[in-house]
Amino acid sequence: MGKDETDRWLEQVYQASGREDLRKLYDSWSESYDADLQHVGYLHAPIITGLVARHVPSRDAAILDAGVGTGAIGNILSLLGYNNLSGLDMSEGMLAKARARECYVDLRKGVLGEALDFPDGAFDAILSTGTFTTGHAPASAFHELTRILEPGGFLLFTVGTIIWEEQGFGQVLDGLVRAKKLAAVETTPIYRPLPFSPLESGFTTRAHVYRKAG
Ligand SMILES: C[S@@+](CC[C@H](N)C(=O)[O-])C[C@H]1O[C@@H](n2cnc3c(N)ncnc32)[C@H](O)[C@@H]1O
């Protein structure tokens, strides 16, 4: 365990040969994922939980963590009093870790980029960290996420700076804004989510907040 071990995992997930390969890698990584990310100063959790506290004050809000992973974000939100948390992920291994935290009312397997098994307007807020990144969930997933968001609800998520344009995130989100389905609320400055990773310390991202028209 350590920075080098974390980098070996990061290298593998960023070079995954497809969705099934990626899913298996996360199943295997789930055992040491939390400790590995702590070693490299993972910054998404404090950023996104701060944004949730700013925009979604109700502790009863129905909040979906899309790409929930081991549930690190839910753990913090639960400690802050949020009591209606759900999570979705394509990796059973990661979901099992999230389940063990006992802070989610619902955890289920699902694939971002495909149809999601939730009714329209199911959530007051949807968050996602580290999942809209190279070779992971596609920009097209934002159509489904917008559908399952309650009118007036918030979308809070991170996207790697480079892939924002390269992989069509700007295009999809601008399109949803032009169609008056979403409004842009705020975007953080660029930050380095893995500052102490020798391999990925130069990787940069932003967190974005959008609100569904309502
Ligand atoms: C880097 S981890 C981030 C986990 C958690 N959000 C965090 O910040 O610690 C990426 C997670 O997204 C999941 N994932 C990747 N692509 C996905 C997709 N298309 N649909 C659903 N989950 C996906 C992986 O299984 C993994 O749990």
Alpha-helical segments (H) within 87-168 = 92-100, 141-147, 161-166
**Please, what is the Cα angle at 182 between 204 and 80, to 5 degrees?**
65
Q: What is the mean pLDDT of each run of 10 residues along the chain (214 residues)?
A: 82 91 95 93 96 98 98 97 98 98 98 97 98 94 98 98 95 98 98 91 94 94
pLDDT of residue 214: 87
Cβ neighbour number for residue 147 with a 10 Å cutoff: 16
Q: Please give the distance, rounded to the nearest whole angstrom, from the Cα atom of residue 99 to the centre of ligand 1.
A: 15
Q: Please give the distance, rounded to the nearest whole angstrom, from the Cα atom of residue 90 to the centre of ligand 1.
A: 7
pLDDT of residue 133: 92
Tell if the pTM clears 0.75, that is, is over it.
Answer: yes
Q: Give the single-character DSSP code of 101.
A: T
| Most distant CA pair in the chain, distance | 47
Q: Would you say domain 3-212 falls under CATH 3.40.50.150? A: yes
Q: Please give the distance, rounded to the nearest whole angstrom, from the Cα atom of residue 128 to the centre of ligand 1.
A: 8
Which of 68, 103, 136 is the best mutation target for the ligand 1 pocket, counting ligand atoms within 8 Å of the beta carbon and taking the most? 136
Q: Which residue has the tokens 């839910």?
A: 74
d(CA 214, CA 211): 9
pLDDT of residue 142: 98
Which of 23, 27, 89 is the best mutation target for the ligand 1 pocket, counting ligand atoms within 8 Å of the beta carbon and taking the most? 89
pLDDT of residue 1: 54
The set of protein residues with a Cβ atom below 6 angstroms from ligand 1 is 26, 44, 67-69, 72-73, 89-91, 94, 111-113, 129-131, 136-137
